[in-house]
Structures are given as C-alpha cells and as structure tokens.
A = this chain, B = another copy of it.
Amino acid sequence: MTKQGRKAQFANALIELRSLIIGGSLPAGARLTETAAAERLGLSRTPVRQAMDRLVDEGLLDRIDTGGCRVASFTMTDLVDAIELRGVLEGTAARLAAERGVVPEIAERMDHVLDALDRAVDPSRFDFDAYVRLNAEFHDLLARLAGSDIVAREVERAARLPAASPVAFLQGQELIPDFRVSLGRAQHQHRRIVEAILAREGARAEALAREHARLARANLEYVMHERPGLAERVPGLALVAE
C-alpha cells in the first residue's frame, strides 16, 4: 500500500497529509500539531515535521506565530491568482521555447503526445483517462521545451499551487455534460501553442499559453457557481472559504 523504500516515512507523511488536506478531511483553518499528525499517521515526529515544512512551502499549511500550523484556507481570488500565475509561467516557457528554439527530443515527444491527444478527444473513441494522462504530459513537456531547468522548475512549482494544476479540474469535468467540447477546445489550444512555438512566434505562443490556463479559471468559476455540489470532488476546492 504505502511506499517502503529509503525515505518511505517522509514520503508517506507528505502524501497522506497532503491528501488529508486537499481532500478536506482536515478542515480549512484547523490547527494541526506535529504530535497529533504523527500520532494520526503512526509515525515519529521527525518525518512528519519534515512533511509539514514542505506543505507550508507549498502553501497548504500556514505557520502560526506561536509555533505549529493551521490548514490554509483560500479565497476564490487566491485560486484565480494561482491559475493566473501558472498561465504566466507556462506562457514564459512557451515564449522562451519560441525565441531560443526547442529541445529536439522534447519536441518530438510533444509531437506524439499531441497526436495521442487527438485520438483521445476523438468522439468516436473518446478516452478520458488517456486524456488526463496525456494532458499532464503535455504540460510537463511544455515546461521543459525551452531547455531551461530553472524555468521548468518554477513552472512545475506554480502548478502545485492549490487548484492551479492543469489536471485539477478534470476530475469534475468527467461529470459535466458538455465536457467533451471543452476537452476538444483545450486540445485545439495545445496545437496552436506548439504551432506558434515552432514558428518562432514568441509573443503569440505566450499569449496562447496564458489563455489556455484560463480554461482552468473558467472551470473553477463554473464549478463554484453552477455546480457547487461538485466542489468537494475537485482536489483543493474544499479549502475555499467564503
């Protein structure tokens, strides 16, 4: 069930705490002490403490003045900002890839991913799970397409911000009637972004990647306003206060 390797306890603590928070088992604003978390997970404080440090860094926990942590709570604006930042950073990755040229191996894999995405959104043989996997890979490749480790790192970090991940809202979309149209639209944007990059059109690539992230924002607003019942199914949305 859980990992058994060398850093097993730390990895377990991180994964389980994160899913407790994102899943809403630990309500936003709740105090979380190291001892309580350690006892709950059946571990010693050392790896749990390390995991909590990391979660503070990710923004899922807020350190409290007196010591100890509190589960973070987010406003809609926070989530919108997180998505905006991901768009900005993916836009930068796209622009730099256009300006500096792409890493050939990554571009080639990108090509295959795009083809596979085309097949996944084809109405005649629609494959949701494949789409989710390939979409994640597309965004990973996009981050690394310019060949800059620093850029790739920061793009990926931005995607870890609450609900900013490109896959965050796919869970919910599965249940929304016209989600196939939405996914087809997203795939169309994927194509245009890569097209702009290969044509060395940096400004266009940047603008398209930014706009692409707006899909997540639209999904966020749709879920929160039209389908509030779905909110608890989307990772991280349980933390939205107000």
Contacts and interface: CB of A to CB of B under 8 A. Distances in A.
Interface band, chain A: 20 to 34
Contacts of A6: 67
B161 A85 contact: no
B148 A77 contact: yes
A77 to B, nearest CB: 7
Contacts of A150: 59, 78, 81-82, 85, 161
A207 to B, nearest CB: 11
A78 B147 CA distance: 10
Interface string A72-86: 000001100110110
A158 interface: yes
B154 A158 contact: yes
Contacts of A149: 78
Interface of A: 6, 50, 53, 57, 59, 67, 77-78, 81-82, 84-85, 88-89, 92, 96, 148-151, 153-154, 158, 161
A57 B57 contact: yes
B151 A81 contact: yes
A151 B164 CA distance: 13
A161 B153 CA distance: 11
A81 B84 CA distance: 20
A81 to B, nearest CB: 4
A82 B154 CA distance: 10
B92 A85 contact: yes
Contacts of A85: 89, 92, 150-151, 154
A53 B57 CA distance: 11
A104 to B, nearest CB: 17
B67 A96 contact: no
A189 B148 CA distance: 28
Contacts of A59: 150, 153
Contacts of A148: 77-78, 81
23 contacts: A50-B50, A50-B53, A59-B150, A59-B153, A77-B148, A78-B148, A78-B150, A81-B96, A81-B148, A81-B150, A81-B151, A82-B150, A84-B92, A84-B96, A84-B151, A85-B92, A85-B150, A85-B151, A85-B154, A88-B88, A88-B89, A88-B92, A150-B161
